[in-house]
Each structure stands twice: as structure tokens, then as C-alpha cells.
A and B are shown apart, each in its own frame.
Chain A
């Protein structure tokens, strides 16, 4: 039984809807991971211990355990506590928090690397510490980590395939659906790979645009 890609067009709409779900979950989780990452970084660096310690524990938990397990925990586990999240929401939260922890590590390092003169200049003008952080230090730190955050977001896109296991019919799950009907795993996984690659290229283009836009401000 050779390869036969003629079976693909009949399932193209299923696959394309899968692509849309993949994009939706990636974008939502990316936004959550970006702002969550900033928040976690600020807490890790500046909050009092009763906030800092739980957040450290949470970060350690998210970095030290498999993402798959985290998704199971959020989707299936929380039900026992009476929190019944839709699969999509659970997926976004799981992916978003997981990558927020990684982004937070990058942002913390970048915040500490911002020239001390920047904080001093802002304080000299009369800004409070938090105003100086908000207006001067954090924007520069975030600008400095756009490329590595971009890499994290590409990783996030690829890991979004994991939410298929909690039943979000994104690209991987919809490909599996088509395979279940046609018994043509190679063809549909190949098609899925091509679509992941295309979305990937799109994300890289967006990242490059953002980098170009911020290039003057260094």
C-alpha cells in the first residue's frame, strides 16, 4: 500500500479548522505567558516573601514536571475540586502558565541587567520605585528578551499539540480524526507537519516585525 495523498482534500476542512484551533490556543496561551511572565518576574524579584515563596514553589513545580501531566491536572484533576474548565480554557491555562514560568526566568535576568543608571535617572526625576520599574526598567527588559521569548513562543506552538490529549480538536487531534477514518497516518501527519511549519513561519515573521519595530529603541 503506497502513499496516496488524494485522500487528503476530503478532510481538508477538518484539518483547517484544526489549524485555526491551534492558532487560537497558541495566541491565547502566548499572551497569557507573556503578561504572566512579566508578573511572575516582578513578584520573584520584588514582592514580599509571602508572595515570593509560593510563586517560587509554583515555578519550580511547572519547570520540574511534564507539561502533559500539568494539562491532565488542570483539566481532569481540578474537576474533583469543583472547577470544571472547558478543554480549551484548561489548555490555554496549562500552556500559558507553563511558558509564563520560562518567560519569567528570561525577564528576571533582563530586569537585573538593565543599567542601574536607568533606575537612578527615573528616581532622580521623582518617580517612585514602582513607577520607575513600570515605565523605565521593565519595558527595556522586555525589549531585550523579545528574541528568546520568540523562541519560547515557537516551542509553545509545538507543545500546543499536547492539548489534543484533553480533547481540544486542534491540528494534531483533527489529523488523528482523519487518520481514524482513512487509516492513512503518514499522509495526514505529513500534512499536519506542513501546517505546523507554515504557522511557525508566520510566527517568526511576526517576531521579526516586532524586533524591527523595537530596534530603534536600544
Chain B
């Protein structure tokens, strides 16, 4: 590539389900090594945008480019399947509900795709699984089945599984939303570590603290458009758009209410303990 290109380049992305416009002409770029958070109210199109990047949900208009190659190319079916499978190998994705393969051991969850798609031998695959699981602190559980793991452990294995394909880009769709509060941190730590290693990441999240501490840029979406974006310090502390302010205010209030409820529950529990 001689001409300069953006690492991730989303051009005029549009997505409609019938009359419902979920993404309305979104253009975005992400640099190599950049870590971007996407925040926004429920139904604003965050997941749809993320899933459009690896064409899990196809756009109805616009283009997605990765490292100078168009992902959602217009090709005949067979050619397109080949193309998209090759592209997806370069894009790791982590889901809210982990989506580990329950019928495979932790090891096989990690090695299935590399063996199948990159022709790794059993020995090479084992080595890869050990490396990747060690990286997320799950090496001791290599021969467990997903059903034997906690949510946080499952998500760490899911991250290792994605990393085993050596992706250029990682997509996270609310990776910690389904976790019990005490399990969130272990997953956040793994993601922070990836950030330190300069993995390019696009992270859909409801965790503002995490976004503020890890991300280079925060994108606020509402009703299918990017309302505002910028460094976390600006978007979180000095947002210019009214909608951003309102969202953050509501979110903070909710957050506080939740914390208060948890604290109350804890006090009640302690009081009960004391009474016994």
C-alpha cells in the first residue's frame, strides 16, 4: 500500500431493519494500536456497529476497511465467503455471553480454529494454547470444560481463544456486562494488559471508569449516530453535546443508585450476621 490508509476505516455505515434505521451514516476511523470505547444508551446501535466491522451483521450501506482491505466487499457468494473468512481471522471478537464451545475443553476451545484454519499440528496447537491461556491466567484450567468455570474465567478463555488466531484488531461487546460484580476486575485486568501491549481494540462498554482508564478515545453513540467523540477526559468531564451530558448524568445516577443498593444490602447482611 503506497497511499496512506486508516487502520480501521468505517465509511458512511448504514444499517436498517425494514424501516428502522439502526445506523445512520456513521463514519469513523481507528488508528493502529488505538483503544476506543463506544458508549451510549441501550438500542443506540453499538453492537450493530461492532458486528458490522467483521460483517456478522451486514451493513445496508457504506464500507468497512481494515488495514487497506475492504471487509464488506461486493463479491459473488463463494468468493465473498472465502474473503470474509480470511478477514475474520484477523479480527477477534469477544461476546457478552462468552459463547465458549461447551463440548470442548478449554484447550480445544483455544486450538480448534488455529488447527482447522492454520493447519497447526497438535504439538504446535498445544504450545499455542498454553501460551495464550498463560497470558490470561487460565493455564491451570487448560483441561477443564467451560461448565466448570466461573463467568470471569470463561471470558478470559474466550479472550485467549480470540487471541490464538493472532488478530490485528479486537472487538469487545460488553465483555463484562454478564459477570457478577466481583468477577469484572479479572477480565478488565486482561483487557488492560492487552492495551499495554498496544493491541488495537474497539470496546463497547457500560463501564465508564474502565473506559476512562484504558481508552485513548471515547465515542458516544445515540440513535444510530456518533454524537460526540474525543479523549475520555473531554467526553466524560467536559462533553459539548447536550445528549452526552444527559446520558452521563443518567448513567451516573443509575450507578450511584446501584452502589447504594449494594451497600445497603451489604449493611443489612452484616446486621443480620451481628444479630445471630
Contact = CB atoms under 8 A, between A and B. Distances in A.
B93 A124 contact: yes
B88 interface: yes
B116 A135 contact: yes
B145 interface: yes
A128 B85 contact: yes
Interface stretch (B99-107, B192-200, B201-209, B250-258): B99-107
A214 B104 CA distance: 10
Interface in B69-112: 81, 85-86, 88-89, 91-93, 95, 97, 99-104, 112
B183 interface: no
Interface string A161-190: 000000000000000000000000000000
B101 A136 contact: yes
Contacts of B91: 124
Interface string B15-55: 00000000000000000000000000000000000000010
A127 interface: yes
Interface residues of A, number: 23
A140 B103 CA distance: 6
A121 B99 contact: yes
A126 B85 contact: yes
B151 to A, nearest CB: 14
A151 interface: no
A120 B147 contact: no
A140 B101 CA distance: 9
Nearest to B115: A135
B56 interface: yes
The 4 A-B pairs at the shortest CB distance, nearest first, are namely A126-B89, A121-B99, A125-B113, A117-B99
